[in-house]
Structure 1
Amino acid sequence: MQNQETMTEFTFAPGEKNIIGDRFSPSIILFWLKTSIAASATRIQYRSPNTLFGLIPLGSNTKTIPLRNVAGVETDSKMNVGSLVWGVVWLFAALCTFGSSAVAGLILLLIAAANLANAMSMRLTFRDPSGGGNIITVSILEKDKLTQLAREIEKLVFADADQLRHEESMDMAQKQYTAQTNSVLIQQQMLANQQQS
C-alpha cells in the first residue's frame, strides 16, 4: 500500500487524514496500464483505464465517492463469460486468417489472447445505501493486494466518525483551555513582578 506522496494522480485537501491507496493492473496483457485507488477519512477516489476489445487503451474512468455514501466494501473474483466467448471467437478468426494473411492472423491472435487472459478478474465494489455500487475490475493476479486495500478502506468506512469528531473537538477545547490558563498565569506573574519592583 502506498502513501499520499506516491499517489500523485490524486489531490487531497489539507485536512484529509488517514490517506491510503495503491495501483493495480486492470489486465494481464496490458500490465503497464494502471488502475489507481485512494481513500481518506472523507472520500474514495479511483481512476481506471478503458479499453477496446480488452487491448486498445481508450481514456479512463475517474470517480470520487464521499465516504459517508459507502455502505459496504466487497471483493470477489469473477468469470467474464463475454470475454471468454469473444476470446474463442477471435481465436477461431485468427486461425482461419493465418492461411491468407499472417499479419491479420497475428493481430486477431493478440486480441484473442487479451480476451482469454482477462476472462478471470478480481472486482472491488463500493456499495451505496440504496444497494447500487461502483465496481472496479483488476487483474486476477492482483487479488491479495486488492483484498488488503479493501480491508483498509472498510476500516475507514466503519470508523465511528461521530466519535472521532467528538474526540477532535474535546482535544481542541483542552488545548484552548490550556492556552488560556497559561495566559492567565503569565499575566499574574507579570503583575506580581511589577508589584515587587
Structure 2
Amino acid sequence: MKKIEFSTSLLFFWIKGKVEVDNRFVKTNLSNTLLGFIPAGKDQQSIPLKNISGAMLSTKYFIKPIILGLFIFFTGLNSLGDSFILGLILLILGIGIAGSGIQTILEIEKSGTPYLISVPFFEKPKMQLLNNSIHDALAEDTDKTDLNLFFDKKSQ
C-alpha cells in the first residue's frame, strides 16, 4: 500500500490531502475549504481499481491569479517606502497568489468521469509518485487476470 500526503494550497500549506493506493482501491481524503483557507469538512472517496481506466498528470497555468498576484506584488513593492509592514504583507500575498496560479493536476479517469486533484506546483514530485503508483496498481490488476501471462510464468 502506498500512502502519499500533500499540501492542497500554496498560501495555506497546513491544509493537507492524502491518497492511498493498494491492490484494490484508490482512497482519497481531501480537505474542503471555504474561501480557500477555512476548513469545511473532507471529501473522501474509495475508487475501485476496476473502475479506473487511467491517470494523467498535467501542469496548468491560470492567468488571472498570476496577473492579480503580480499586481499585488508590485503594489507592495511600491508601498514599501510609505509603510514597510503593509508593503511586506502585500509582497508575500502577491507571491502567494501568483504562485497559486501554477497548479499540478492529477486526473484519475473513473468510469468515464475525470476526478481531479489539484495541488501547488511544488507538490509535483509527490503527484508523479502517486501517478506511477496508480499505473503500477492498474498493471498488476490487469496481470492478475491475464491467463497467457500466468502460463508463461508457470512454464519458466
TM over 0.5: yes
Check conservation: 2:27, 2:45, Cα contact below 8 A. Answer: yes
Alpha-carbon distance, 1:79 to partner: 1.0
User: Are the structure 2 counterparts of residues 113 and 49 from structure 1 closer, same or farther at C-alpha, using a change threshold of 3 Å?
Assistant: farther
Q: Please show how residues 28-107 of structure 1 align to structure 2 within 5 Å.
A: 28-52=10-34, 54=36, 56-59=37-40, 60-88=42-70, 90-91=72-73
Within 2, Cα distance between the matches of 1:102 and 1:52?
30
CA RMSD between the two structures:
3.2
Counterpart AA for 2:110: D
CA shift in 2, pair 1:63/1:111, >3 Å? farther
Matched, 1:153 2:137: no
Give the Cα separation in 2 of the matches to 1:101 and 1:47.
42
Count of aligned residue pairs for this structure pair: 145
The runs of 5 or more residues in structure 1 that have no matched partner are 1-18, 168-197
Q: Percent same amino acid at aligned positions?
A: 24
Q: Give the TM-score normalised by the residue count of structure 1.
A: 0.58
Residue identity in the other structure for 1:157: L
- Distance of 1:50 and 1:155 partners within structure 2: 29
Structure 1 residue 31 displacement after superposition:
2.5
Contact 1:53 1:111 survives alignment (8 Å): no
SS at match of 2:134: helix
Residue 102 of structure 1 and its aligned partner are, at CA, apart by 7.8
Hey, what's the Cα distance between the residues in 2 that align with 1:97 and 1:69? 54
CA drift at 1:109: 5.2
Shift of 1:40: 1.7
Deviates more, 1:154-163 or 1:35-44: 154-163
- What SS does the aligned partner of 2:94 have? helix
* Map 1:182-197 → 2, pairs under 5 A: none
**Structure having the higher Rg:** 1
Structure 1 residue 81: Cα displacement: 2.2
Aligned partner letter, 1:30: F
Cα distance, 1:49–1:96 mapped onto 2, change above 3 Å:
farther
More RCO (CA 8 Å, sep 6+): 2
